[in-house]
């Protein structure tokens, strides 16, 4: 690569220079800009994918740990509304009770959301244990280790499809990166190591040949469009319910779940007291 000093010394005559005399080609500055934009896009894609995996994992833990409490709150709200309607006989109270009950009626596939935490008759033992401060089996934890993150980033930088010089190589890289993403989403450090070894043994990426200025400009335009699309994906992740929660405690999401659980338990206790007063009064 031409050093900055050599580049500065050859600018004046670069239009007459040829590759044979060692001076920079006219397209060299544009090629460097394309390479820099490619690397910047790859780093941004890595950051977006890493955050997507974190959001997905936090969402899974959120449903597993807090799902039973939300279900219990909905059930208590329905019982409270029904008790009020029974006492008052007011049609409006009955309408509210029906709406509250409809919110806890079984829906297609809803049981799958809670992974066996509840059924039509109430809560399973693990959920009941959580609500009564008894020992409970911890939810499945899927969070990539620091080493898995490092392996993923290295593989993404080396094998990214945007570095392919032709369609055949791009297809090979896309298939490989799909496997890398799946292993990272599962936090499978062993498989990521195996994939790193596989890539190291594979065919070396072909060097990008000299490009015409028009092709380089088109490439820069495509990279800019790709970055814009990724920005929209990142925005959706950050502004979503789970992403917003995760950003409150990026370094300790487990503690955030514990704090939410504590608040939900307090809400459950308050609803149970309110229901007891209605039924006892």
Digit-coded pLDDT (tens) for 186-208 = 888 899 999 999 998 876 555 55
Rounded Cα gap, residues 259 and 253, in angstroms: 10
Tokens of 103: 């919110």
Which of 18-27, 99-108, 151-160, 217-226 bottoms out in mean pLDDT, i.e. has the lowest?
Answer: 18-27
Tell me if 158 is assigned to some domain: yes
Q: Give the pLDDT band of residue 56 (cuts 50, 70, 90).
A: confident
Cα–Cα distance list, 26 to 144, 163, 217 (Å): 45, 22, 13
Both structure tokens of 132: 């009564």
- Is residue 240 situated within a structural domain? no
Give the residue numbers spanning the domain of 177.
144-201
Residue 114 in this model has a pLDDT that exceeds 80? no
Q: What integer pLDDT is reported at residue 133 of this predicted model?
A: 53
Please indicate, yes or no, if residue 259 is contained in any of the structural domains. no
Asked, for residue 53, whether it belongs to a domain, the answer is no
Q: Is 195 a member of any domain? A: yes
pLDDT tens readout for residues 71-112: 888 988 999 898 998 888 899 989 998 998 888 855 444 444
Half-sphere exposure of 56 (CA within 13 A, CB side): 15
What is the model's pLDDT at position 24?
A: 62
Average pLDDT, the chain: 76
* Residue 171: inside a domain: yes
> Do the domain assignments include residue 196?
yes
Q: Which residues contact 117 (CB under 8 A, 6 or more apart)?
A: 64, 67, 68, 71, 123, 124, 126, 127
Q: What was the pLDDT predicted at 205?
A: 52
* Helical packing angle, 28-88 and 213-239, nearest 10°: 20
CA neighbor of 253 nearest in space, from 4, 25, 53? 53
What is the tally of structural domains in the chain?
1
Q: Which residues contact 275 (CB under 8 A, 6 or more apart)?
A: 76, 79, 80, 83
In a domain, 273, yes or no: no
pTM of the model: 0.52
Mean pLDDT of 19-43: 77
**Residues linked to residue 197 through DSSP beta bridges, in sequence order:** none
């Amino acid at each position: 690569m031409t050093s900055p000093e050599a580049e500065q010394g050859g600018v004046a005559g670069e239009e007459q220079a040829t590759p044979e005399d060692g001076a920079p080609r006219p397209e060299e500055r544009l090629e460097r800009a394309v390479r820099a934009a490619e690397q910047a896009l790859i780093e941004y894609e890595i950051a977006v994918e890493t955050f997507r995996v974190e959001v997905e994992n936090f969402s899974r833990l959120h449903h597993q740990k807090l799902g039973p409490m939300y279900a219990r709150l909905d059930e208590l709200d329905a019982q409270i509304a029904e008790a009020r309607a029974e006492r008052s006989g007011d049609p409006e109270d009955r309408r509210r009770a029906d709406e509250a009950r409809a919110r806890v009626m079984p829906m297609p596939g809803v049981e799958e959301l809670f992974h066996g935490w509840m059924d039509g008759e109430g809560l399973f033992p693990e959920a009941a244990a959580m609500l009564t401060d008894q020992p409970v089996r911890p939810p499945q934890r899927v969070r990539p280790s620091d080493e898995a993150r490092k392996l993923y980033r290295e593989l993404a930088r080396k094998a990214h499809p945007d570095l392919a010089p032709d369609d055949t190589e791009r297809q090979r890289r896309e298939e490989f990166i799909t496997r890398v993403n799946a292993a990272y989403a599962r936090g499978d450090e062993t498989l990521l190591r195996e994939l790193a070894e596989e890539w190291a043994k594979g065919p070396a990426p072909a060097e990008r040949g000299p490009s015409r200025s028009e092709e380089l400009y088109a490439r820069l335009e495509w990279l800019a469009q790709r970055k814009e699309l990724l920005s929209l994906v990142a925005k959706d992740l950050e502004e979503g319910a789970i992403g917003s929660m995760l950003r409150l405690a990026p370094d300790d999401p487990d503690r955030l779940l514990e704090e939410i659980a504590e608040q939900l338990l307090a809400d459950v206790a308050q609803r149970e007291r309110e229901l007891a007063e209605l039924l006892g009064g």
